[in-house]
């Protein structure tokens, strides 16, 4: 699947690690705590792993 531009809402992130664990090449935890996109891009399927909807695809 092609990668899409994604963004994470840090105020919504509960730091559960679902994105980091499922897509370690695309996400990591920031120094401040919440997850962040490593390159700003990720598989579109990554949006569905977040239990609180903090990940969104930018069109």
pLDDT reported for residue 43: 87
CA distance 15 to 35: 6
Model confidence, pTM = 0.88
With a cut of 90, say whether residue 40 has pLDDT above it: yes
pLDDT reported for residue 55: 97
pLDDT digits (tens, 9 = 90+) for 4-26: 999 999 999 999 999 999 999 99
Domain ranges for the chain: 3-57
How many angstroms from the chain centroid is the CA of residue 37?
A: 5
Q: Is residue 6 within 8 Å of 46, Cβ to Cβ?
A: yes
We find that the CATH architecture of domain 3-57 is 2-Layer Sandwich (3.30)
Of the pLDDT bands very low, low, confident and very high (cuts 50, 70, 90), residue 56 is very high
Q: Is residue 48 within 8 Å of 17, Cβ to Cβ?
A: no
């Amino acid at each position: 699947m092609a990668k899409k531009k994604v963004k994470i809402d840090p105020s919504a992130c509960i730091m559960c690690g679902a994105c980091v664990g499922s897509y370690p090449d695309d996400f990591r935890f920031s120094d401040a705590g919440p997850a962040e996109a490593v390159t700003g891009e990720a598989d579109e399927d990554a949006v569905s792993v977040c239990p609180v909807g903090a990940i969104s695809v930018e069109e």
